[in-house]
Amino acid sequence: MEQLGIFVIFFASIFTSNILLTNFLGMCSYLSVSRELKTAWGLGIAVVFVMTVTSVANYFVYYYLLVPLKLEYLQYIAFIVVIAALVQLVEMIVDRVSDRLYAALGIFLPLITVNCAILGSSLFLVIRKYDLFQSLAFGLGSGIGWLTAIMALAGIRSKMARRSKVIPALEGPGIVLIVTGIIALGFIGFSGMVQIN
């Protein structure tokens, strides 16, 4: 695989290969926590943070621990444990460092352990054979991409809740999925700019 520039990966993972809109990862929390802008922002920031940290950490775990020991098949368990441990650690640090930040992020952090986008980004960096800085760019970019997507949806939903009447059967997940589809269509418009597969 040819070497991709860090910035290419960074922008591609925000716009053209958005982890949520093209790889469908992290849908569960995306659907349930997008009612209000404020909570969406809190969760989004937490995702950016955790995704960046776990991508780098899992890069080290995979290439410096699992590969030398020929334990690649344990990657799922290793990644999950690393993510769970890191989330716990981040939670403790945030708790000590800043009360305000903890109040904003605290409730979202445990949710993140089971957010498939986090595990997904770690698996992608192994499948796509990224090096350390590419992994960093990918983790950060994917996180920001996820944040962008959930903020877009939360904005639309909070407007929709006030103004629009939705047919009962379509209320909730139905209409949200349609809106997401339209957002995804918009993001496809970016696909000429940069491309990673």
- Which residues are at the interface with another protein (CB under 8 A)? 21-28, 31-32, 73-77, 80-81, 84, 113-116, 118-120, 123-124, 127, 168-170, 172-175, 177-178, 180-182, 184-185, 188
Q: Within a 10 A sphere around the Cβ of 58, how many other Cβ atoms?
A: 26
Q: Shortest gap between Cβ of 133 and another protein (angstroms)?
A: 21
**What's the min distance (Å) between Cβ of 170 and another protein?**
5
> Among residues 160 and 184, whose Cβ is nearest to another protein?
184
Environment class of 1 (CB within 10 Å of its CB; exposed 0-12, middle 13-18, buried 19+): exposed
Question: In terms of Cα–Cα distance, which of 35, 15, 29 is closest to 119?
Answer: 29
Cβ of residue 32: shortest distance to another protein, in angstroms?
A: 8
- Residue (7 or 46) nearer to another protein, CB: 46
What 3-state class would DSSP assign to 101? helix
Positive or negative CA dihedral for 18, 19, 20, 22? positive
Q: Going by C-beta distance under 8 Å and a sequence separation of 6 or more, which residues neighbour residue 65? A: 71, 78
Q: Of 104 and 125, which has the nearer Cβ to another protein?
A: 125
Q: Which residue carries 């990224």 as its tokens?
A: 130
To another protein, the closest distance from the beta carbon of 167 in angstroms equals 8
Considering beta carbons, is residue 12 or 21 the nearer one to another protein?
21
